[in-house]
């Protein structure tokens, strides 16, 4: 079982213990596997990141099958030594949101109700000396 699935199942189990039985009886829940982009793991961000909008669109991170040549220095998510890409999910279909050109990682940070997604991507694992002056 992928780690993203384990986290989601654990969260639902905790909710079942916390929410009173009467409230649970009034709602129907559906567990959906959002898949991966080929790698072994995928996940959604924890709050305050907004990972699900009111239209049922979701965003998250997923490992690809591409090895990360800068691992462990890149270590954005410190998982497996694979490139991680942001993904979007809507109507049962995932979409790789890509990254900057080259072998790079990306991650989503927010999704609006209209589907606008904000995130970031690493480009070369180097600090820009002109941007980060002390």
Q: pLDDT for 75-130, tens place per residue? A: 555 567 888 899 998 888 889 999 888 778 888 989 999 999 998 887 655 555 66
User: Which pLDDT does position 43 carry in this prediction?
Assistant: 82
Residue environment code for 74-84, b if the CB has 16+ CB neighbours within 10 A, otherwise e: bebeebeebbb
Q: Is the pLDDT of residue 133 over 50?
A: no
Structure tokens at 125: 């694992």
User: Which pLDDT does position 79 carry in this prediction?
Assistant: 66
Classify 98 in phi/psi space as left (phi over 0), alpha (psi -120 to 50) or beta.
left
User: Which pLDDT does position 134 carry in this prediction?
Assistant: 46
Yes or no: say if 76 and 84 are a contact pair by the CB < 8 Å rule: yes
Residue environment code for 3-40, b if the CB has 16+ CB neighbours within 10 A, otherwise e: ebbeebeeeeeeeeeeeeeeeeeeeeeeeeebbbbebe
More confident residue, 33 or 54: 54
pTM, two decimals, is 0.66
């Amino acid at each position: 079982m992928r780690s993203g699935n384990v986290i989601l199942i654990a969260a639902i189990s905790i909710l079942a213990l916390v929410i009173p039985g009467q409230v649970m009886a009034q709602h129907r829940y559906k567990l959906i596997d959002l898949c991966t982009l080929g790698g072994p793991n995928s996940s959604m961000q924890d709050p305050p990141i907004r990972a699900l909008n009111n239209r049922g669109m979701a965003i998250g991170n997923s490992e690809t099958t591409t090895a990360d040549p800068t691992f462990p220095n890149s270590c954005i998510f410190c998982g497996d030594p694979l490139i991680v890409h942001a993904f979007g999910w809507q109507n049962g279909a995932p979409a790789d949101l890509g990254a900057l050109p080259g072998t790079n990682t990306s991650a989503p940070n927010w999704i609006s109700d209209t589907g606008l997604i904000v995130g970031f991507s690493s480009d070369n694992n180097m600090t820009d000396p002109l941007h980060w002056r002390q």
